[in-house]
A and B are shown apart, each in its own frame.
Chain A
Amino acid sequence: KQEVTQIPAALSVPEGENLVLNCSFTDSAIYNLQWFRQDPGKGLTSLLLIQSSQREQTSGRLNASLDKSSGRSTLYIAASQPGDSATYLCAVRHPSGTYKYIFGTGTRLKVLA
């Protein structure tokens, strides 16, 4: 049974810092992995999607890496800003044909001005 863990559960950093959020999953047989952002009281916004054959994806100040064999993904945020404050979730999709995503519990990030 696939389980997704995100560490740390919460993180507070000063503005301008580069930071790394971690996601680990127990079953390396995944179809893809997505990183999402959730603002309080809002829905989820997809940030980056990494296919199982890819090693990383980049979008602006965000870079997500995937090491399928070790069951790990990281989300790197460069030069953090207060507007980056949100909960970040990773989710993996099983390759069996189902479109179901298994989510981690998220990392709550606060960037201090």
Chain B
Amino acid sequence: EAGVTQFPSHSVIEKGQTVTLRCDPISGHDNLYWYRRVMGKEIKFLLHFVKESKQDESGMPNNRFLAERTGGTYSTLKVQPAELEDSGVYFCASSRKTVSGNTIYFGEGSWLTVV
């Protein structure tokens, strides 16, 4: 079974440009999450999808970030326009539908550097 896959693995863009990160969850996982870790800080929650619906987007930092999950399969996270403070690692994770104590599976992250 394939794990959570993320693309690109690394991206270097200039301030003001747009970047789109993609996540393919484990097949059959209805829950999909985005987290990020900026330099020196802890991993922080961005948002949670159940299928194609945003269940919780309380962690999205501002309206420069847009997440979508069309058809309830893969998800994209777009940053437009990117700022220097957006640099960090963006992790995607997925889990099954069962409520009781889902183990969540993380991808290897998309490393974003804004210069």
A99 to B31, CA, bound (A): 9
Interface residues of A, dominant DSSP:
strand
- Near A by CB (< 8 A), chain B positions 88-115 give 91, 93, 95, 100-109
- Near B by CB (< 8 A), chain A positions 22-81 give 31-32, 34, 36, 41-46, 49, 51
A-B contact pairs, 16 of them (CB 8 A): A4-B42, A31-B101, A34-B104, A43-B108, A43-B109, A44-B43, A46-B103, A49-B101, A51-B100, A89-B43, A99-B48, A100-B45, A100-B58, A100-B59, A101-B35, A105-B41
Are B103 and A49 in touch, CB under 8 angstroms? yes
Interface residues contributed by chain B, number (CB under 8 Å): 27
List chain A positions with a Cβ less than 8 A from chain B: 4, 31-32, 34, 36, 41-46, 49, 51, 89, 91, 98-106
Residues of B within 8 A of A101 (CB): 35, 45, 104
Residues of B within 8 A of A51 (CB): 100-101
Are A99 and B43 in touch, CB under 8 angstroms? no
